[in-house]
Amino acid sequence: MNILASLQKEIQEIADSQRAKTLQRFFKTQKGEYAEGDIFLGINVPRLRKIAKKYKDLSLIDLRKLIQAKFHEYRQIALFILIDKYQNSDYKEKKEIFDFCLEQIKYINNWDLVDLLAPKIIGNFLLKREREILYRLARSQHLWSRRISIVATFAFIKNNEFGDTLKIATILLNDQHHLIHKATGWMLREVGKKNQELEEKFLLSYYQEMPRTMLRYAIEKFSPSKRKFYLK
């Protein structure tokens, strides 16, 4: 049995149908919902991380098969392995993994997958590079591409770089999807943790037109009096 088949067999053996049903409700997989058609096996994240370490040497060819598979956990474990590979690679290998991930974006089809990939590979790779790709993603019709564009900037925020987060937040200001509202508000909140004055300067320009959910996430760490001001 090859390595990929061995991994798939191990995952299938620990599948939990009852937990899968719960996850499919939580991640909104029903008709008309944001993750319509996503199929879960019902395996928790710690177990997936443990399995990922065991199969960390899978090739990109095999990882492509996992990412394009129908089961959510296959895609999740592929990302765990890709992140490990990326963090332990030289520049050439990092570039190969970055390009590979961009090619697979349409299969990164739920917020937990986005939030793994975006900062740890996409954002990290762009720390010292040109970032136009994020602006293209921000203007995409594809929900998960837009979420990637803003969550990727978490890597920049940790590096005390805030400009791209604020610019992309402006692009997403009138987005119609609540998952974009949440992600954008989250990143604005992270900016505020580093530089609240800068976040408030942004909010004073946009808080009256900002979706309520985005605003609530953005001001979550403010004092009660400041939250009251922005929500009035």
pTM: 0.94
pLDDT in tens, 13-29: 999 999 999 999 999 99
**How confident is the model over 134-155, as a mean pLDDT?**
98
pLDDT in tens, 95-134: 999 999 999 999 999 999 999 999 999 999 999 999 999 9
- Is residue 29 within 8 A of residue 36, CB to CB? The reply is yes
Local confidence band at 218 (pLDDT 50, 70, 90 cut-offs): very high
**How confident is the model over 66-95, as a mean pLDDT?**
96
Predicted local confidence at residue 1, as pLDDT: 65
| Upper half-sphere CA count for residue 4 (Cβ side, 13 Å) | 14
1-10, 60-69, 140-149, 150-159: least confident range: 1-10
Which domains, ranges and CATH numbers included, belong to the chain?
1-106 (1.25.10.90), 110-232 (1.25.10.90)
Residue showing tokens 């090859």: 2
Using CA atoms, how far apart are residues 154 and 149, in angstroms rounded to an integer?
10
Q: In terms of Cα–Cα distance, which of 190, 134, 204, 194 is closest to 167?
A: 134
